Structure formats: C-alpha cells, structure tokens
Amino acid sequence: MKSLAISRTQMWHKPQIYSIGVLLTIALLVAQTITASARGVGDSFADLAEQLSPSVVNITTTQTIAQPNRPQMPQVPKGSPFEDFFKDFLDQNPNGQNQKPRRATALGSGFIISADGYIVTNNHVIDKADTIVIELFSGKELDAKLIGRDIKTDIALLKVEADEPLPFVNFGDSDISRVGDWVLAIGNPLGQGFSVSAGIISANNRSLRSGPYDDFIQTDAAINRGNSGGPLFNMDGDVIGVNTAIISPTGGSIGLGFAMASNVVGPVTQQLKEFGETRRGWLGVSIQDIDAEMADALGLEKVAGALVSGVPDGPAKDAGILAGDVILNFDGKDVADTRGLIKQVGNSEVGKSVRVIIQREGKTQTIKVVLARREDAEKAAVVPAVAKPEAVTQEESLGMEMTSLTDDIRNQLGLPADAKGVAIVSVNEESDAFEKGLRKGDIIAEVGQTAVESPKDVANAIQAAKDAGRKSVLFLIRRGGNPRFVALSLAG
C-alpha cells in the first residue's frame, strides 16, 4: 500500500513537473521572440548587413600639396662655425630649388542613393581633393566627380558612371527615431575596408556648434576615422544619419559618435542634385532663445518660440515683423526654439509665401512672408542708419550707470559714429545686470520693447514694468553691432 501510494504520488507529480518545464520553455521562447521583435533583426545583424553593404562605398582621395620655399641662409658672421652648419642643412635641397609637390591620400566612406550612381559623403572627406576614387563592395573602382557640396552641414554629393545599375539605399525619417533604437554603421574605419558596427541611439538633436543646421544623432555604435561620410541605418535598412564626427581623447571610438540627421541631409542632397548648390529659405531676422525670465517679461504662457532681436532689410522687414516680436509658429508648425526655426526656414522653398504667427505686446497676429534665398542674403552688405546727436544726460538704475550719446561719448567708449540709444558707462559687479553679462560700452536700444533715447526713457520703462507687476524687464542690448535681448530682474 505504501509502495502503491508512493507510485501514485510519483505518477501524479511527474506530469506536473513536465508541465512546468514546458511552461518555462515557452516563456523563454516568448521572451526571445519579444527581444528579437524589439531589435527587429532576430538574433543577428547578419541579414541586414549583407543586404546593405553593397550600397556602401570606400572613398580614396588624392591631393597635391605644394612644399614651402627653400629657407634663406641666415646672416651669420663670416667664419662663424654656424656658417657651415646652416650651409650643410640647406644643401640637403640640391641646387637651391624648391622641393617637388607631394601627393597626399585620404580615406573615407559614402553610400549610393540612386541606381545611376549618385553618392553621398561628408564634405571634409573630399575637400580640396584633386581625384576621387570610389571602391564598390565588389572591389571594382570608379572615378567620381563632385556634383556639389554644402559646408554648413558638411555634406557632398558625388557621381560615378557604372556599366550597370548600382545597389542603393533610401533616406528614412530621422525625426521618428527614438533614443534606445538599434542602429547599424557601415564604413571604412582606419582604412580597413568594409566594416559593420552596431549600437543604439544615445541621444537625438545634438549640437556640436559646427553650424546653424546642427542636428546630430548620437550613437554608441563604433565609429572611427574613415567612417566619415558613411551611413547610419535603422533596422528597416533606411539611412537616418551620415556618420560625421566623434568625441575622443584618443582619436578612437569611445562610444561618442555623431551622425548628421537624414532629415537635414535629405533636402540638402536633393538641392545639390538639382542645382549643384543649396537654395535655403531666408526669413531675414536675428533671433535668440527665450528663458523663463524673458517669458515673464514678454507675458508668454510658456518658454517657447524665438525672440526677434533684429530685422535687417529683407522679407521679414518687408512683411512688418519687428524686433521684440516672438515667433510662435512658422508655416503651420509650432516653433520650440531658435534651432527649430532655423531648420524649418532653411528647409523651406525659396519664394514660398508662408504664414508666421507672432506675439507682439501680449497679442498674437499672423503675418504673411515671402521667403528669400539665404545664400544671396549672406553676400549682401547691411548699411546701418545714422543717428543724430543728443544732449548729455545721466542716470543710474538696476546697478547700471547710463548716459545719452554724443560724439565725444562715442569716442570715449569706442562706439561707432552711428550708435544710437543709451550707453552703459559702468555696471555694479553685484547687480543682476553684471551677472547677465552687461558691460561698459554696451548700448541699450530698447527697454520693455520700447525704443529708448535717454537714460530717463530707461528709468520710465523700468517703472512701467514694475507698475504692471512684472518680475523682470526685457532689455535689447547691442554690442559691436550685434543685438541680443536680456531679461533683468526688478527685485530690490
């Protein structure tokens, strides 16, 4: 009986143990499936790498570098032991002629974006090159010609002629890429040939302060010298970035790689292909970001938008936009900050009529602006207006000693003859003004979005802000001709 009882117990528990094992196995398979689904590549990147590698190219450039002229024999006393020393040193270059120019070689990466041979790379990969040679994944080499380049985004477009259609890849939408997404980098690191590395997106919308259109994807995928110009792929096989830079104390990858986002590169590439140059939209405003104090001084509901600090001759001025306006929406899209607005305007078509929503004196209004071309505007000179001299008055407020402008004061402060407004002659080092960077020689052009012509105007505008219950007041400051807004606290 006992034996039978044991037998029954065993018979009862064996199926139970087996069921638990099955459940554990199923759970493990489900977990692996979920992980694979999250990666989008199963247990390996091999299929994706095999699919994409033929669209990536190695780039070799050569450049002729002129050698410096032969140095002249220095003047030394005749018979000095240094005379023979310098003579022997200079005689290493026979006949006293310049050395022959030498050829320098550089390596980089790129990727094919059309079957007829258009190739994208970094401008710094091919800059100043005399010859550009493309090596395909098959090993075949082709000469490439430069179609166009854009220094601001460090992008160049090349073209090769092939006997047959080439494998190519498409640009994806970098704006929908998320931190943590898997990415694949393919290129020619350190001249080692086609190489694949994988990682994740570490951050989006990074700025390296290399230009106005900075929009880098940061990744920990291994990127080294030679990867420049190569593609950064998402798991759908679309290019979401062009590998451009690394941050490294050693010169090698430490997991801080940066790729220019495809939503910047795509429009640039299309313009280079169509025109051989970029044709960016231009609004014609100087702008700056808004902080919490500025938002309070401007009466904004939230810290967002771009504050107009200057309006030179151009589309915005023609349309009626003024310094002190806050641009809240451009062509149907809300403006988060200056970088966002610069990107939106730059990607817009030249000659397009757009609606710009601004806030002025606490009220919003819509202004229609016809965009010009940025490249044309950058070549034009801006001629400032000339101000008439004013009587001297002085006043102190918010830790600043101020004076009206005369020719003598402009000379004393080293200001241009056309400077207008109110000059700062000293700033208390314990004041908020000093902490915000205001200094002697700065010009106050506006206070509370009202033009000022005397220290009394400044004092009146400050008092008006206090009477309105503001915690801070907005100053438009000019230094060296460059405008910027500064919000100063009214406390105390």
CATH code of 476's domain: 2.30.42.10
- Lowest model confidence (mean pLDDT) among 23-27, 283-287, 322-326, 412-416: 23-27
Shared-domain flag, residues 367 and 412? no
13 is catalytic: no
In a domain, 129, yes or no: no
- Single residue among 348, 379, 410 that ends a domain in this structure: 379
Same domain, 402 and 484: yes
pLDDT of the residue at 18: 43
Same domain, 473 and 400: yes
pLDDT digits (tens, 9 = 90+) for 206-242: 988 777 888 999 999 999 989 999 999 999 999 999 9
124 is catalytic: yes
Catalytic residue among 55, 109, 124, 197: 124
pLDDT (tens digit, 9 = 90+) per residue, 142-154?
999 999 999 999 9
Least confident residue range of 88-97, 277-286, 466-475, 483-492:
88-97
Same domain, 367 and 408: no
Among candidate residues 326, 354, 379, the one where a domain is terminated: 379
Whether residue 372 is found in the same domain as residue 460: no
Q: Is residue 150 part of a domain?
A: no
269 or 361, which is more confident: 269
- At residue 32, the pLDDT reads 45
Whether residue 356 is predicted with pLDDT greater than 70 in this model: the reply is yes
Q: Does residue 244 belong to any structural domain of this protein?
A: no
Q: Is residue 132 very low, low, confident or very high in pLDDT (cuts 50, 70, 90)?
A: very high
**Domain edge (last residue) among 327, 346, 379:** 379
Least confident of 15-19, 372-376, 383-387: 383-387
Q: What pLDDT shows up at residue 446?
A: 87
Does 411 share its domain with 455? yes
Quick one: 366 and 448 in the same domain?
no
In a domain, 52, yes or no: no
Could you tell me if 287 and 349 lie in one domain? yes
Determine which of 2-11, 94-103, 356-365 has the lowest per-residue pLDDT on average. Answer: 2-11
Q: Is the model more confident about 31 or about 162?
A: 162
417 and 372 fall within a common domain: no
Residue 468 lies in a domain: yes
pLDDT in tens, 401-418: 888 887 777 776 667 767
Q: Please tell me the least confidently modeled range out of 56-70, 202-216, 244-258.
A: 56-70
Domain assignment present for 308: yes
Query: Is the full-model pTM beyond 0.75?
Result: no
Domains in the chain, number: 2
For the stretch 299-328, pLDDT in tens is 888 999 999 988 989 999 999 999 899 999
pLDDT the model gives residue 210: 77
Residue 354 lies in a domain: yes
Give the pLDDT of residue 60.
Answer: 94
* Per-residue three-class SS string for the chain: CHHHHHHHHHHHHHHHHHHHHHHHHHHHHHHHHHHHHHHCCCCCCHHHHHHHHHHEEEEEEEEEECCCCCCCCCCCCCCCHHHHHHHHHHCCCHHHCCCCCEEEEEEEEEEECCCCCEEEEEHHHHCCCCEEEEECCCCCEEEEEEEEEECCCCEEEEEECCCCCCCCCCECCHHHCCCCCEEEEEECHHHCCCEEEEEEEEEEEECCCCCCCCCEEEECCCCCCCCCCCEEECCCCCEEEEEEEECCCCCCCCCCEEEEEHHHHHHHHHHHHHHCCCCCEECCCEEECCCHHHHHHHCCCCCCCEEEEECCCCHHHHHCCCCCCEEEEECCEECCCHHHHHHHHHCCCCCCEEEEEEEECCEEEEEEEECEEHHHHHHCCCCCCCCCCCCCCEEEECCEEEEECCHHHHHHHCCCCCCCCEEEEEECCCCHHHHCCCCCCCEEEEECCEECCCHHHHHHHHHHHHHCCCCEEEEEEEECCEEEEEEEECCC
In a domain, 122, yes or no: no
Quick check: 431 pLDDT over 70?
yes
What percent of the chain has pLDDT above 70? 80
Catalytic residue among 55, 109, 154, 214: 154
Domain residue limits at 401: 394-489
Instruction: Select which of 228, 262, 348, 404 is catalytic.
Output: 228
Q: Report, as an integer, the average pLDDT of 21-31.
A: 45
Q: Are residues 403 and 341 in the same domain?
A: no
Rounded average pLDDT over 449-458? 84
Residues 399 and 458 in one domain: yes
pLDDT tier, 448 (very low <50, low <70, confident <90, very high otherwise): confident
Percentage of the chain exceeding pLDDT 90: 48
409 and 472 belong to one structural domain: yes
Task: Tell me which of 188-202, 252-266, 411-425 is least confident.
Answer: 411-425
